[in-house]
């Protein structure tokens, strides 16, 4: 069984690639920006931070305590963490998976990749989707030729339709990116992040 992607860890890396922060700030940012693909907050977030720190993808840079509040440790991403973020993100964008939530998460963080890299990853996804659609269509033809009633293969046609719809959407996204209609340079800035965390 394939290991599920660590979407919480990926999101933590993405946020820390913009600025250092402590887990409470990260939690607030996730909630305020509606990263609804993340569940189990705040426990899943603290677990992800601990795991990433153990792997030295993030490091503590400061610990502070204000009044009666608990101690807060501020983390920043390491160079290795930046490489890992880009690698994980590329894989999630390139590879259609059974769970749509994974692609939703990758799309919400796509701005962490340089535009040319994001376009390459999306092109790889379109090629894979075309292959999946072709395979589903061949499977449907084979089932039809075998005399199987159409009602017993509606789920296969449904899967094909989902792949087709996704392919068309990704192609439109790519076209907008290539025409310069969609760009994220300067979209997510430290100021925007800090305003969200106020």
The DSSP secondary structure of the chain, one letter per residue, reads -PPPP-HHHHHHHHHHTTS-B-HHHHHHHHHHTT-TT--STTHHHHHHHHHHHHTTSEEEEEEE--TTSPPEEEEEE-HHHHHHHHHHHHHHHHS--S-HHHHHHHHHTGGGS-HHHHHHHHHHHHHHHHHHHHHHHHHHHHHHHTT--GGGGHHHHHHHHHHHHHHHHHHHHHHHHHHTS---TTTS-HHHHHHHH-
| pLDDT the model gives residue 140 | 92
Long-range contacts of 70-76 (CB under 8 A, 24+ apart): 72/22, 72/23, 72/24, 73/22, 73/23, 74/20, 74/21, 74/22, 75/16, 75/20, 75/21, 75/22, 75/23, 75/49, 76/16, 76/20
Residue 3's pLDDT is what? 63
> What distance in Å separates the CA atoms of residue 179 and residue 87, rounded to the nearest whole number?
26
Mean pLDDT along residues 33-45: 82
pLDDT tens string 158-167: 999 999 999 9
pLDDT over 50 (residue 187): yes
Whether the pLDDT of residue 180 is over 80: the answer is yes
Instruction: Grade residue 27 by pLDDT with cuts at 50, 70 and 90.
Output: confident
What is the rounded average pLDDT for all residues in the chain? Answer: 87
Per-residue pLDDT of 105-155, as tens digits, reads 999 899 899 999 999 999 999 999 999 999 999 999 999 999 988 888 899
Q: How confident is the model at residue 1 (pLDDT cuts 50, 70, 90)?
A: very low
Most confidently modeled range among 96-105, 155-164, 176-185: 155-164
Confidence bin at 37 (pLDDT 50/70/90) = confident
pLDDT of residue 79: 96
φ, ψ (nearest 5 deg) of residue 131:
-65, -40
Residue 42: asked if its preceding bond is cis (omega within 30°), the reply is yes
pLDDT for position 189: 53
């Amino acid at each position: 069984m394939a290991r599920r992607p660590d979407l919480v860890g990926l999101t933590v890396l993405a946020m820390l690639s913009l600025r250092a922060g402590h887990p409470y700030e990260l939690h607030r940012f996730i909630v305020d920006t509606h990263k609804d693909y993340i569940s189990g907050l705040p426990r899943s977030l603290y677990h992800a931070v601990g795991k990433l720190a153990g792997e030295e993808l993030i490091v503590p840079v400061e610990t502070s305590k204000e009044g009666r509040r608990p101690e807060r440790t501020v983390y920043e991403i390491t160079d290795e963490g930046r490489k890992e973020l880009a690698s994980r993100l590329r894989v999630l964008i390139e590879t259609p998976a059974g769970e749509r939530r994974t692609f939703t998460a990758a799309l919400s963080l796509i701005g962490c990749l340089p535009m040319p890299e994001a376009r390459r990853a999306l092109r790889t996804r379109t090629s894979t989707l075309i292959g999946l659609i072709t395979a589903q269509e061949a499977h449907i033809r084979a089932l039809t030729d075998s005399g199987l009633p159409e009602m017993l293969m509606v789920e296969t046609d449904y899967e094909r339709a989902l792949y087709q719809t996704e392919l068309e959407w990704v192609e439109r996204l790519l076209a907008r990116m290539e025409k310069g209609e969609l760009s994220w340079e300067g979209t997510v800035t430290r100021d925007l992040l800090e305003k969200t965390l106020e």
